[in-house]
Each structure stands twice: as structure tokens, then as C-alpha cells.
Chains A and B, each alone.
Chain A
Amino acid sequence: MSAPRFTTLTSKMVKLLDADVDTDQIIPARYLKVTDKAGLGDALFADWRGREGFPIPVRAGEQILLCGHNFGCGSSREHAPWALVAGGFRALVSTSFADIFKGNALKNGLVPVVVPSEIHAALRSIDQEITIDLDACELRAPGLAPVRFAVDGFARRCLLDGVDELGFLMQHLPAIEAYESR
């Protein structure tokens, strides 16, 4: 199986700064009646697209979403990261992400970068490209000292090396069988 990969990404940011954006906004439930992952890009923020100046769909090359606190709260639907990836995004930058969403994003090569609020505030006024370097766990932006960020070590290793998580888990089958028979 081909696992998603991520090393570094340099891109402009799209800014969606509302706090507590839930997965029902990222992709409304009526788009969840699918049996595959195709075509979800059009469903991304479907009900917010009418807002004046709404930045999605993105322009070519915009792959980083600067988003508000607690992004991705609510439903566990993995359709949310699928739609974000289909909509062109490869990384998200916020002060925090909801737990289930964060795990789902990482499994799809969509890197959630958590930064302190003062860095987040500074990024809001930056319009140039920034770089997210997963190998160094560093975010670099013009006018800012490099920002170290924390990301789950195992998820990072999987993305850098293209490790298939299920394949990795299946290596533990002997231990799983032993657990079941005890």
C-alpha cells in the first residue's frame, strides 16, 4: 500500500481564523453518503463558500491553512481531512486541533502544526510563502525566527519514511494472538 509522505512544504497560507471550526462545517453530513473518497473537494466548506471573501476553493499553490483554535472539533468523520486534501491542502497551522481530527489528518498526509498563540498572531499578517519542515519539526516564515513545533513522533516517522501504519500494526499479529489466547 502506498502510504502518504511529507517532508517539507513551502506555500502561501489561506486564512480561516474562526475558532472551534467543526467537521460539520468542513464537510456537511449530506456529503457523507459516499462509499469512496472521490470528489470530496467540492464538498469542502460547502456551506461557507457563499461568504464574502471566503478563501476556498483555493488558488493554485495554496496548500497551507492557517486556522483558528480547536480546529476540527465534533464528528469523527475522516471525510473532513479527505475533503481538505482533495481541496488542495497539505498542512494546517493552529493553536490547537481536536483529537480525532488530528489523528485522521496525520493518516492522510495532512500535517497539523500547533504553534503558540503569539506565533499564530504573527502569521496572520504574513502573506508570503512559509515553509513547514517535518524533518526538522520547524516552521519558517519571513521575519520570524524558526519556530519549533511538536508532532506525534510515530506519525512523523510514518510520513517521512512512507511507513504504512496498518502494515506496521500487522507486524504485531503474533503478540495480538498471544494476547487473545491468554
Chain B
Amino acid sequence: MKLVKETLFEKVWNAHVVASPDGDVPSVLYIDLHLVHEVTSPQAFAGLRARGLRVRRPDRTVATMDHSTPTRPGGLALADDQARAQLAQLAANCKAHGITLHSLGEAGHGIVHVIGPEQGLTQPGMTIVCGDSHTSTHGAFGALAFGIGTSEVEHVLATQCLLQRKPKTLRVTFDGLPPAGVTAKDLILAMIAKLGVGGATGHVIEYAGAAIRALDMEGRMTVCNMSIEAGARAGMIAPDDVTFNYLAGRPHAPRGDAFDRALRAWRALPTDDGAVFDREVRIDATKLEPMITWGTNPGQGVGISQPVPDPARVTDLEARAQLESALRYTRVEPGQPLVGVKVDVVFVGSCTNSRIGDLRAAAKIVDGRRVAPGVRMLVVPGSAAVKLQAEAEGLDRIFRDAGAEWREPGCSMCIAMNGDQLSPGQLAVSTSNRNFEGRQGKGGRTLLASPFTAAAAAVTGRVTDPRALLSEEARRSA
């Protein structure tokens, strides 16, 4: 019998410690996969050049263009000069160092956190980093995946390692199954609302419980993606048959005997019975409803039938001031549910919710309906492969026929640095991950929600409980 009981995180961490120097020096942690995009890498490559260094393991480095790329058909020609220069710099850096780059318009192109899993690059037990806080997405496979700054991007390019302190562990258990129409996005928004935006700082979260086990890989990615919105360093889910079935046959997944060998190692990864976490949180999934945010951070969310908090009822002066400041910006009414609030824009996309299942969910609501007059709906697939699949299923037709815009893959309106953005004052229901002030365009206001809830807002023109628009059959299969 094994004496030391380890968590999933500890197993992955321990397997990647290259050196634990004495004294006060952090561990040297080996990185299996380094994902790179145009925004957070140019200064790192410049640093390498200044030192006369090469990328040490181009074979463990994969790049894509996503943040500053236009999503209107027409490609690079539509990017502004600065974005074009940044994208050209990435292409030059990848060429100089022999790094695989998925350029705009190519079959493998897409949002970095969509294409990694899609191509089978993301695998259980790996360490994965990227200069992007939503790298936590890859934890859905039982990988330890986290966002890093550009200095650390340079460190990984040069050494394939990082100096890291071991984070603490937090297990969030979702007990029971959520009601029909309540999705992965609602689970994670509910958790962030409970913990707060700084609630998991210093921790790696492991998501557990019946509601997590019942999710497909795309739902698990949505959950892990937003770990950072609670301040967590990473989010992880123990791999199981759902994970292994997803991986089998993907281009970069092991094949044949190698797959069987990998499988034996992957099956040993889940947290041992009796392993101890630094913290535990439990959430009753059976009591959840579709979630929506009302404020200016992802922790400011409520169940769709619940009232927005009222500052008048908050006694702590600082908490009240923060509440008032958020409500001043979003201009939603305190003490009332958001249902019925008029919507200008609906965005379905981002590394949180742009996979095929997300588009199918939105299409279920939009099918046979029209985008409400005066509402702009953008549907932006997460990758070229997702786009192709959606078109093969006729989802693009459903969206176009309803009056929505069907776009090329990219980060689009999640980050508003590529031409897709809100105008000042506009209110969006968005499937993305951040409702910070101006995140989707200066002066724009964002309500975060699931693809169901976003699509329901698009066709009614108002914040709407999507369950009213879902057929019994659709709700059950969601």
C-alpha cells in the first residue's frame, strides 16, 4: 500500500521537478508544452536575441495567432498596421527558431486554448504554460497548466523550465447534478461568485464531484478556463474515460502501443483516496440555475432569477463602495433581477465558450427564431476546425438565417484589440470570461453568461432565462 497520499496536482508537480535547490530558491519545474501567441511573446524573443540564445526545444513549442487577428472574412489585410507588425513579428520569430506556427487562414489555426486540446497536444499529466492567464483551460485533461508573464515566456523559450514555488491546493466539489439547462459555464460562474475574484489566490483548484464527472471535455475546459477568475494559479480535473476517449485518434495523441502505455500512466494520476487538500469547498449543483454577472468582475454574478445586490443593504463601507462603483459602471438596477434588461450585443465565442458544443447550444435556441431587432449577434468559432465542423452541421446557416454574424476564428470581442468591440455604453451578454470595465471596448458593459443564456438574449433582445426557450428534449440533452 502506498503510504504517501497525493493529489493529482502533487503527482504532476513532483514528476516535473528538475531540481529543488537548497535554501530559499524556488524549484526548477520542467515544462512539457509551451504555447505561444503574438501578444505576449515578442519581447521574450527580443530578449533571447539580445542574449544570443536559441529556443531550446522548438519541438515542445507551438504558436498561433489569435488575440489581435481580425475575424471578419478577409484576414490580415483587415488588421491595423500595429497588429500586422505584431503578427509579422511572430511569424518571423517562429521561422527563425523552427517553431510550428498556425497562421491565420490555415487549417490548424485558432484560439490557443482551443487548438491545443483539439490537436491532442494537451495530454494528462503534462505541464503546460502560455503567456496567457486562461492557460488554466488545459487543466481539464489533468494537466498542470498556468499562465505566465513575458519574462517567464523568455525563461521557457531558453531553458524549457521555470523557477516556481509550489502553490497550495483547493478542492471544489460540485455535489449532485445540475438541473436541465444549467451548464458548465453556470457551474464556474457560481463558484467564482461564491469564492470571489481573489478567493483562490495562491491555490491550484481541483474540480471534483458528480457534476464535473458528468461533463464532456468541452464543459470541463469551460470550467478550468475560468479558474484564474477566482485568482487560482490553475484548475485541474482528474482524467477519466471521457478524457481518454476524447484524446484517442487526435493528431498529436500517442497511437497504438504508445497510447496503451500512456493510458496506464494517465490512469494513475487521479488524487489518491485520503489525500489532503489545503482547503475544501463544496457546492450543491442541484440548487444552481443559469448564472449571469451584473458587475465589473467575474465574481459579481447571480442566478438569473435572483436580484442584483443592493448597496443600501450592505453595511461594510468598503464593500458598499465597491458595489456602488460597479453598478455605476454597468447601470443595472440594484435589488432587481436582470431578467428583462435590454441588450445591444450578444457575443458567442472566446477560449471559454467557442467550441462545437457551445455553438450547438447557442444554435438550439436560435434555430427557427430571429435575432431581435436592434441587437447585433456575433458568433465566433474558436478554431478553423470548429468552424468547419459547425458548417458541416449547418450551424452557420442557423445563425446567418437568424441574422447573426458568422465569423472567422479568433479571440474577437473577448479582448477588443482586433476590431471587434462594443461602442461606449453598449450592453453585451457575452460567453467570454471577463466583464472588467472596458474589456470588450472602452465604455462597453458586459454581462457574462452561458451560450444558452447569450443566445436567449439575442433572440428576445433582453436578458432572459434560457430554460423558457429550450424544448424539453433540448434541455435534457444539454
Contacts and interface: CB of A to CB of B under 8 A. Distances in A.
Contacts of B21: 172
B291 interface: no
Given A24-B437, A35-B89, A70 B159 contact: no
B435 to A, nearest CB: 10
A84 to B, nearest CB: 13
A157 B30 CA distance: 23
B473 interface: no
Contacts of A104: 149-151
Contacts of B151: 78, 104, 107-108, 165-166
A103 B68 contact: no
A170 to B, nearest CB: 6
B63 to A, nearest CB: 15
Contacts of A70: 197-198, 201, 231
Given A69-B198, A169-B28, A176-B160, A103 B149 contact: yes
A20 interface: yes
A144 interface: no
Interface stretch (A6-14, A85-93, A94-102): A94-102
B224 to A, nearest CB: 16
The CB with the most chain B CB atoms within 10 A, among A47, A69, A104, A169, is that of: A169
Contacts of B415: 29
A169 B161 contact: yes
B476 interface: no
Contacts of A172: 18-19, 21, 28, 159, 161
B165 A152 contact: yes
A20 B297 contact: yes
B147 A100 contact: yes
Contact of A24 (B30, B159, B322, B438): B438
A2 to B, nearest CB: 11
Contacts of A176: 18, 28, 30, 159-161
A22 B297 contact: yes
A131 interface: no
B165 to A, nearest CB: 7
B159 A29 contact: no
Contacts of A47: 437-438, 442
Contacts, number: 167
Interface residues of B, number: 66
Interface string A21-64: 01011001110111111000000000100000000000000000
A73 interface: yes
Nearest to B198: A70
Given A30-B416, A99-B233, A166 B155 contact: yes
B159 A107 contact: no
B39 A169 contact: no
A103 B152 contact: yes
A22 B231 CA distance: 11
A28 to B, nearest CB: 6
B77 interface: no
Contacts of B155: 165-166, 169
A162 to B, nearest CB: 15
Nearest to A167: B51
A35 B21 CA distance: 34
A148 interface: no
Interface in A94-139: 96, 98-100, 103-104, 107-108
Nearest to A152: B165
Contact of B24 (A33, A154, A175): A154
Interface string B427-449: 00000001011110010000000
B198 A98 contact: yes
A77 interface: yes
B417 A33 contact: yes
A1 interface: yes
A28 B148 contact: no
Nearest to A179: B18
Contacts of A180: 30, 160
Contacts of A74: 133, 228-229, 434, 436
A74 to B, nearest CB: 6
Interface of A: 1, 18-20, 22, 24-25, 28-30, 32-37, 47, 69-70, 73-78, 81, 96, 98-100, 103-104, 107-108, 152-154, 157, 165-166, 168-170, 172-173, 175-176, 179-180
Q: Which A-B residue pairs are the 10 nearest by beta carbons?
A: A153-B24, A70-B198, A78-B149, A104-B149, A35-B42, A76-B147, A78-B150, A33-B82, A76-B133, A107-B151
21 contacts: A20-B297, A30-B442, A32-B417, A33-B83, A34-B42, A35-B42, A73-B297, A74-B229, A76-B132, A76-B147, A81-B149, A99-B231, A100-B133, A153-B24, A154-B24, A157-B24, A165-B155, A166-B47, A166-B155, A169-B161, A169-B162
